Amino acid sequence: MNNTMEKPFGQEESLESLRQTIDSLDDQLLALLNRRMSVAQKIGLLKREQKEEIPRLDREAMILRRLCENNQGPLDKQALVNIFTDIICAGREMQMPLRIVYLGPEATFTHMAAMNHFGRSATFMPQTSIQDVFFDVEKGLGRYGVVPVENSIEGSVNYTLDLFFESDLKICAENYLTISHELLSVSGAMEDIKIVYSHPQPFGQCRRWLRKHLPDVPLEECSSTSAAAKKAAETKAAAAIAGAEAARLYNLKVVASKIEDFAKNTTRFLIIGKENTKPTGKDKTSIMFSAPHVPGALHKVLEPIAKAGINMMKLESRPSKHKNWSYFFFVDLEGHLEEPSVRATVDHMEKLCRFVKILGSYPQAVPGDDQ
C-alpha cells in the first residue's frame, strides 16, 4: 500500500512564482480581450453594411448562457456573468454607443439592474417616473428603458403593467436583481445615528431589524433610496437604508449589511425597446388580453395553453380603467412566438378574446445568484 500523500496544489510553489503566473495570465487575457474588441469592431462594420440591428440582445443572452453552461469553476456563475457582461458591453460600445433610460435617480436598484444588464460603459439617463422612461424610449431619446415589473415579496408593479396598454414598446429582455439593503452613514458607527432616511419600501422590508437595533430612532421617508443616501451624507447624526451603489456614490460607510427581513428579496426588471428579438432557445413570450365578460371565459381562453403543453410562467389581472369590473390579463408563456406551438396557441387565444396584444418574445434572464 502506498502511504505517500499527494501534496496539495501549489504547495511547492513560492508566492513570487504564483504572482509571476498571474502576471503572465493577465498579459494573455489582455491580448485576447483586445483581439475580441477588434473582432467586435469588424462585426459592427458588417452589421451596418447588412443593416442588421446593433445591438442584438438575443445574441448577448446566448453568449452568457453558453459560458455559464461551459463554466467548470472555481469562478462562480454570478461573477462570470458580471465579468462577461462588461466585456460584451465594451465590444458593443465600439460598434454603437448605447443610451439607456431608467427609473432614477442614480444609485437606485433600477440603476443597478440597468448596469447589471448593459455593463457600466453605456450612457445611463435617469428619469423621475416609469411613464417618462416609456416616453423617452418611444421618442428615441434612449435605445432601451429599464423599469421594475414585479417583486418576489410585494408583487407586481402595477403602473408598469398599465403602461403597456397605451404603449407600442416591446419587452426586449428581463433582468433579476436581489434587493439587499445596507444601513449607511458618514461615520459607520451605530451609536452616532439619531435619524434614519429611506424610501417607504425599504422601511417596510427592514421593519424587524429596525425594531430590534434602532427601536427609538425616528424614521423619515424620502423619494428614493438614493435621495436618502444623499441626505444622510450631509450629517454625521443620520443614516440611510439604501443599496451598495449609493454608498459608493455618496462616500458613505456601511454600518450594517443585509438588514432586510426576508432573504432572497428579488425584483424583476424589464428591458423595453422598439425591436423584436430573435429566438435563443430559452425565451419567454408576454401577452395581454381581455376575455369576454361571461362565465367560464377565462378558463376557455387559457385552455389552448394547457392543451399545447406550454408552461404558463405568470398570470396577472389588472382593472381596465375603461369600464367597471372589466379586466386585462397578463400572461408570460415559456417559448418564443416564432416557435410553431407558441404561435398557434396565441392565434387560437386571439379568436377567443375581445382584445390581445403581444408585448414581446425575449430571452429568459441568464440564471445567476440574483435568481
Question: How far, in Å, CA of 200 to CA of 198, rounded?
Answer: 6
**163 is written with which cell numbers?**
403602461
Domains 98-179+266-272 and 276-363 fall in the same CATH topology = no
| Predicted model pTM | 0.84
Residue 123 three-state SS = strand
Residue 6 three-state SS = coil
Residue 5: predicted pLDDT: 44
| pLDDT tens digit sequence for 290-336 | 988 888 889 999 999 999 999 999 999 888 766 655 788 999 999 99
> Can you name the CATH fold of 276-363?
Alpha-Beta Plaits (3.30.70)
Question: How far, in Å, CA of 303 to CA of 356, rounded?
Answer: 15
Residues of the chain falling short of pLDDT 70: 1-12, 321-325, 367-371
Question: How far, in Å, CA of 149 to CA of 163, rounded?
Answer: 11
Query: What proportions of the chain, in percent to the nearest 5, are helix, strand and coil?
Result: 40, 25, 35
| Helix runs in 51-195, H state only | 57-70, 77-95, 109-118, 130-138, 158-166
Contact between 262 and 328 under an 8 Å Cβ cutoff? The reply is: no
Residue 156: predicted pLDDT: 84
Domain ranges in the chain?
Answer: 34-92, 98-179+266-272, 182-256, 276-363
Residue 68: predicted pLDDT: 93
Question: How far, in Å, CA of 171 to CA of 271, rounded?
Answer: 6
Tell me which residue has cell 451605530.
190
Superfamily for the 182-256 domain: Periplasmic binding protein-like II (3.40.190.10)
Q: Which helix (H) or strand (E) holds 239?
A: strand 238-242
CATH for the stretch 98-179+266-272: 3.40.190.10
For the chain, counts of helices (H) and of strands (E): 12, 15
Tell me which residue has cell 446593433.
54
Residue 94: predicted pLDDT: 85
